[in-house]
Structure 1
Amino acid sequence: MYYLTKLIVTCALVVAISEVARRHSLVAAVLASLPLVSVLAIVWLYLDTRDVEKVAGLARSIFWLVLPSLLLFVSLPILLRSGVNFVVSLSVSIGVTVAGYFLMMLVLHKLGVHL
């Protein structure tokens, strides 16, 4: 039952944001920009393990990986406004983001930061 509750709450959040976006893009953008998924993951991890070290590690890792995820939100509007097809724009933006993750992991490793 607990797993089902986690699933329903998490899915409901995504569906609610997409529904709000159809009517009010600014409100949806504010909701989507909040780290709600990260907060939910942190809460679920804590409730599952009661291990504050694991929670701290997750929060630290999220911090470092938010940075390359921003590449999606920079590249997608640039490509769309340049007239590139939506599916292609989204695919390229995801690819750029994945490359950003790999680059960030490489840089962090060289700096001695282990996630």
Structure 2
Amino acid sequence: MYTFVKILCSAAVIGIVTEIARRFPSYGGIIAALPLVSILSIIWLTVQSESSEHIQRFTVGVIVGLPATMFMLFVIYMAMKSSIHIVFAIGLGVVSWAIFLGVQKAIASVFNISI
């Protein structure tokens, strides 16, 4: 039952943000940049009685993923600005995200940082 409720609530949030973005692109972007997925995930993890330590590890994972996500969005923006089709722009963004995470992980391992 939790899964069904989570899907409905999450879909509603995405639908609302998309509608706002359709009418007001700048405000939609700002709202989409809010950590809605992270907050919803923390709420669902809490409702499902996950430990505080588990939720803290999840939060660290979100923090670790932020730089790569920002880079991905930048690549998508630059690709679209260069008139690259949206499908290819997103593809470039996803590839850049994966490469960024790989480089980030390699740098962390050089400095013996566990991520």
TM-score calculated relative to the size of structure 1: 0.90
Q: Which residue of 2 aligns with 1:87?
A: 87
TM-align CA RMSD: 1.4
Q: Which residue of 2 aligns with 1:114?
A: 114
- Alpha carbons of structure 1 residues 103 and 50: separation in structure 2 relative to 1, 3 Å: same
* 1:108 Cα deviation from its structure 2 partner: 2.4
RCO higher in structure (CA 8 A, sep ≥6): 1
Name the SS of the counterpart of 1:83 in structure 2. Answer: coil
TM-score calculated relative to the size of structure 2: 0.90
The amino acid across from 1:51 in the alignment is S
Give percent identity, aligned residues only: 18
Superimposed CA distance per residue, residues 17-69 of structure 1 (whole angstroms, 9 cap, x where no aligned partner): 11111101122112101101001111111221340000111111110111111
The amino acid across from 2:15 in the alignment is V
Unaligned segments of structure 1, at least 5 residues: none
Q: Which residue of 2 aligns with 1:28?
A: 28
The amino acid across from 1:97 in the alignment is W
Q: Which residue of 1 aligns with 2:16?
A: 16
* 1:105 Cα deviation from its structure 2 partner: 2.1
Contact 1:20 / 1:28 at 8 angstroms: preserved in 2?
A: yes
Contact 1:69 / 1:101 at 8 angstroms: preserved in 2?
A: no
Name the SS of the counterpart of 1:5 in structure 2. Answer: helix
- Is residue 100 of structure 1 aligned with residue 100 of structure 2? yes
**Partners of 2:91 and 2:106 in 1: CA distance:** 23
The number of residue pairs the alignment matches comes to 115
**Partners of 1:36 and 1:61 in 2: CA distance:** 15
Q: Which residue of 2 aligns with 1:2?
A: 2
